[in-house]
Amino acid sequence: MGVSEKKQISFGKLITKAKFESSGFIPSKVQSHIKSTPYYLMIYIPADDIIKISVFPCENSSIQKILIRLKEFSPDLVKGISDVLKNFNLGDGTIHTTGLCFESINCFYETYLDSTLIKTRKVTIDRIKEEFLKVPRVEEVSIINIEPEE
């Protein structure tokens, strides 16, 4: 069974600075407190009655989400995932990370990365995926490109 849209913790949307400033969705008084960058990653985390929205200023339009389906959460699992990010020296390219179990057996971990950093590390996203799959209790890894919306 593949990772379905319904079983993601969050959904990302990358927008240009012009769209961010003209949307009217975020009041200008709030916009003035957010770093000015060419792009903004909007991360939506739906819950039963609310949606949490986070805004991350981004210098680049190359954003990828790594979505990992897990058998269960454990300290060893979290350490294994952190070690993969650390071994590839991707910590400074991490934009947002979270994990959640929808039911005791339906657990996910996800991280949004500035994928331009991956290119400078001379590593492929497939190689990173392979390393995540070696972590015990990781069942599936999906790479989702977050394309900019004009």
Q: Is the pLDDT of residue 15 over 60?
A: yes
How does pLDDT run across 132-146, given as a tens digit for each residue?
Answer: 999 999 999 999 999
How does pLDDT run across 107-125, given as a tens digit for each residue?
Answer: 899 999 998 877 777 788 8
Check: CB of residue 45 under 8 Å from CB of residue 52: yes
Closest CA to 137 of 100, 107, 94: 107
pLDDT of residue 118: 77
| Tally of residues, the chain | 150
pTM for the model stands at 0.85
Q: Is the pLDDT of residue 6 over 80?
A: no
How does pLDDT run across 25-83, given as a tens digit for each residue?
Answer: 888 888 888 899 999 999 999 888 999 999 999 999 999 999 999 988 888 888 999 89
3-state SS class at 3: coil
pLDDT of residue 63: 94
3-state SS class at 130: helix
Sheet holding 39-46, edge to edge: 51-58, 39-46, 11-16, 148-149
More confident site: 8 or 129: 129
CB under 8 Å to 48, separation ≥6 — which residues? none
pLDDT of residue 72: 81
pLDDT of residue 3: 45
Domains of the chain: 5-149 (3.30.70.1150)
